[in-house]
Amino acid sequence: MNVRRAKSVLGSVILAPAALLAGIAGAPAAQAQPCPDIEVIFARGTGADPGLGFVGDAFVDALRSKVGGRSVGAYAVNYPAGFDFDKSAPAGAADAAGRVQWMADNCPATRLVLGGMSQGAGVIDLITVDPQPLGHYTPTPLPAHLSDHIAAIAVFGNPLRDVKGGGPLPAMSSTYGPRSIDMCALDDLFCSKGLSLPAHFAYVDNGMVAQAADFVAGKL
């Protein structure tokens, strides 16, 4: 796969409004009680095993070390994280949106943090970025009544930075921009004009996960 084809593939994320609404209507798996003070809702990257992914795990661990005695729960967005992005990404966006709605209904005092790596970053973009064309995709942001539940957003290796009309999440969301951090490693193949695949997997080692956790802790 050549570089431009690879970027095109990782940039191929689209959120169907019907899928989003379906996700909000459905109830994710029950949250253990009592409700945590903070919950991180994180979408793993393409091809990662179900769970938070290595970046998500490191981010949650770093955040827990920075919020004192407050409890931090974690929810792994339930989606395929596969290479058929036109199916995979909408499923992730619907599940993430559904989890936000469920937490707002059942744990209204819990502060929510949204996060994602690679395709997972695109999933989070698609429920937070303003509804404007990004390439040939149009995000559908979360309903306005959920905004106050979301304290911060942190994404890594975001492919929607590198599509026509795209850019870092803070510049693309009038609602969540000041609460967002969008980390793109130098020369990352998928979020910049760079050519480095190793850079795309370097967010823990290069300190950007810790930097994002500092930012998020400051919003909590």
Residue numbers annotated as active site: 118, 188, 200
Residues 6+ apart with CB under 8 A from 198: none
Q: Which residues pair with 41 in a beta bridge?
A: 75, 114
* Tokens standing for residue 39: 């919950």
Q: How far lies 73's CA from each of 36, 52, 106, 111, 135, in Å?
A: 6, 12, 14, 10, 34
Could you give the CA distance from residue 56 to residue 156 in angstroms, rounded to a whole number?
10
Q: How far is CA 85 from the centre of its chain?
A: 15
Lookup result for tokens 């707002």:
104
